[in-house]
Amino acid sequence: MLATVTQTSFKNPYEVALENFDLAANALDLDENIRAMIKCPERILQVSVPVRMDTGKIVRFEGYRVQHSTTRGPAKGGIRFHPNVTLDEVKALATWMTWKCAVVNIPFGGAKGGVTCNPKRMSMGELERLSRRYATSILPLIGPEKDIPAPDVYTTPQIMAWIMDTFSMNKGYPVMGVVTGKPISLGGSLGRHEATGRGCYYTVLSSCQHLGIPVKGARVAVQGFGNAGSIAANLFHAAEAVVIAASDSTVAIYNRAGLDIPKLIAHKERTGSLRGFPDAEVIPAEALLLLDCEILVPAALENAITEENAHSVRARIVAEAANGPVTPEADRILDQKGVFLIPDILCNAGGVTVSYFEWVQDENHLFWDEQDVNSRLERVMVRAFNDVLKIHLDRKVSMRLAANMLGVSRVAEANRIRGLYP
């Protein structure tokens, strides 16, 4: 059902990324020369990924790796396997990674990768051959000191393990730090799997504190019940918030008294979808975004809230666990309505923050316990939230613009100090 909303009001995500950059650069009165240097991707690789399917037939998939910036450190960003992946989407996601790493102040630039494919229709063998062939194709670009991939939509710790193994086989020795989001047994970090949802949760706690909304009893609706959405939902549930609705790509479900999230997670693990969960009624997918609630968490894909439905959003807080779920037109509408938006480059930055911790642990061959990871994550997220909130309040700009101003100004400053290669 959401597909209908997405199709009728589709906005090219790269145009959104450029528009938001221009708004931030204008608000910062940024020098034109610096704009010219930091706005667009530094490097774009498009690859052809031939895969032998189980039938014996060879199918060719399109793949991409985009490095938007290496100004503040090695490029960093996830890999998406999804039927709707396009080069412009990957460029947008890489651009957002640059500002995101700067907002949480970790020493990385921004990158993203993707393959246009439908992993739900592929066997494990086909997925492994696709992942290894794609890894080989982007091999010249990646490495712990150059560009470090991670999971994103429909990519998993297992896929990261195959990429790490393919890279290592080519080098002739194990290179743990080439990807993050790996299984724990292969140099992954404790807490990485939960980090995006946990980081989102910390920013919502800070927002509730700022707005005087008690978390206990707050009604929460979560669109997208994957890594980011399900873990955030579980933390809200544990904090005695009431998660009244959740959705995945097949169904949206609702229970006014609250869904039992641990049971819902077990149901999804067992059946592969939210469909058929007892004690909940099925609602239209687009209705979830318009529910009367305190906290709305879009945790699926881009273009969920557009100028077509933003007027009808009734949440007090919109926490962008997904990348790019709210278009710039919808931003303006939500802002006028007084909705408090936690922008994606802040709200979902917990994932890349713990990816950074994983990379540090791999490079040092010294691993931290989970409590250590989580308390460091909390410190980073709360500090970043307060940095963005300060700009929002001091400059009287939206939280989106405040976050973009913070990210862009840090990259601009690093660029200014590094100077221009003649």
What is the rounded CA–CA span in Å between residue 253 and residue 416? 50
Stretch that binds ligand NAD, among 158-166, 293-301, 365-373, 379-387 (CB under 6 A): 293-301
* Site residue total, ligand NAD (CB under 6 A): 25
Give residues with Cβ within 8 angstroms of 311, minimum separation 6: 333, 337
- Residue the block writes with tokens 């990519």: 155
Nearest to 15 by CA among 352, 406, 388, 303: 303
Tell whether residue 248 is a contact of ligand NAD (CB under 6 A).
yes
Tell whether residue 384 is a contact of ligand NAD (CB under 6 A).
no
Tell whether residue 228 is a contact of ligand NAD (CB under 6 A).
yes
Site for ligand NAD in 140-169 (CB under 6 A): 151-154
CB of 298 to ligand NAD, least distance (A): 8
CB of 285 to ligand NAD, least distance (A): 6
390 flagged as catalytic: no
Tell whether residue 295 is a contact of ligand NAD (CB under 6 A).
no
Nearest to 287 by CA among 253, 317, 319, 318: 253
SS3 (DSSP) at 150: strand
Site for ligand NAD in 296-325 (CB under 6 A): 299-301, 321-323
Tell whether residue 226 is a contact of ligand NAD (CB under 6 A).
yes
What is the rounded CA–CA span in Å between residue 26 and residue 129? 46
What is the rounded CA–CA span in Å between residue 194 and residue 91? 26
**Is 328 exposed, middle or buried, given 0-12, 13-18 or 19+ CB atoms closer than 10 A?**
middle
Site for ligand NAD in 346-365 (CB under 6 A): 348, 351
The active-site residue, picked from 91, 112, 182, 268, is 112
Site for ligand NAD in 196-215 (CB under 6 A): 196
Nearer CB in complex with ligand NAD: 152/362: 152
Total Cβ atoms within 10 A of residue 22: 15
What is the rounded CA–CA span in Å between residue 302 and residue 323? 6
Nearer CB in complex with ligand NAD: 118/209: 118
Chain residues in the site for ligand NAD (CB under 6 A) = 2, 151-154, 196, 223-229, 247-249, 285, 299-301, 321-323, 348, 351
